Structure 1
Amino acid sequence: MHNGSCLCGSVAFTIDGDLSPPSACHCGQCRKQSGHVWSSTWTHQDNLSFSASDTLSWYRASDIARRGFCSNCGSFLFWQHNKEDTISISMGAFDAPTGLKLSKHIFVADKGDYYDITDDLPQEAQ
């Protein structure tokens, strides 16, 4: 079981189930919304429950997915594809320790020009 929340605590959640190995997304949308690289894990949406969610808001940044954030503090928490029953959760929102390790970089073709990826993890163009 893993617990997490936004910065102000107005959105708090529990994951009761398996989490995928985390990835670091370098796409333009994640960089703009998070301020840099967005690292996330995913799980089946039925594994997610909320103890607080009054300020959880959703933004449709594209036709294929929505992004969940706290409307009070602005924390970017979730990414959910329209046609999938999984949900991605921000690694930064989890209470430590998570026991998870970054597994790969995705959308590296879109990465910012202001940094380099210097680890040996796999890199996917998209």
Structure 2
Amino acid sequence: MNDSGERHAGGCLCGAVRYEVNGPLRGVVNCHCTMCQKLHGAFGAHTKADKGNITILESRGLRWYASSDRARRGFCGECGSSLFWEPVNQPGTGILAGSLDQPAGLRTIGHIFVGEKCKFTEIAGNAPRFEESSAGALDGDEL
């Protein structure tokens, strides 16, 4: 259990999945890969937390989909909300930033897989952009 004092809560649209994060969240990384396009309509805005700091409070709707041999994605089987991206061999879990109740203080720190981004998507701001993965170049990538 983390003792940083930071606590965040979130969940799906219908309430069939609720979670709490006891600890810090990484800044938001917008993933423009083709899988995120299919799941989110354009890109996925992911924050991240240590897996050990995430507690599932309500799981009746939680479903997991193995989207590749590297990761699985968590979503609500009742309302369809995308919630998590969980890599197999990393200590952190990606959390869809929009699923947080109050994502106060979060800001976009980078864009990944911009080489695959939708043609209609415009990227604004000065956050770093990577053609593929950030490969550890962003704060919090080590999670």
Instruction: Identify whether the pair has TM-score above 0.5, normalized to the shorter chain.
Output: yes
Q: Does 1:73 align with 2:41?
A: no
Q: CA deviation at 1:97?
A: 4.3
Match of 2:120 among 106, 114, 125: 114
Identity %: 38
Q: CA deviation at 1:42?
A: 0.8
Deviations 1:76-104 (A, max 9, x none): 10001111121000000001242111111
Contact 2:42 2:117 in 1 (8 A): no
Residue 130 of structure 2 is matched in structure 1 by 124
Map 1:43-122; keep pairs closer than 5 Å: 43-122=49-128
**Scaled by the length of structure 1, what TM-score is found?**
0.96
Contact 2:42 2:121 in 1 (8 A): no
Q: Which runs of 5+ in 1 are unaligned?
A: none
Residue 137 of structure 2 is matched in structure 1 by none
- Secondary structure at the aligned position of 2:46 is classed as strand
Alpha-carbon distance in structure 2 between the residues aligned to 1:118 and 1:18:
26
**Scaled by the length of structure 2, what TM-score is found?**
0.85
Residue 14 of structure 2 is matched in structure 1 by 8
Q: CA RMSD in A?
A: 1.0
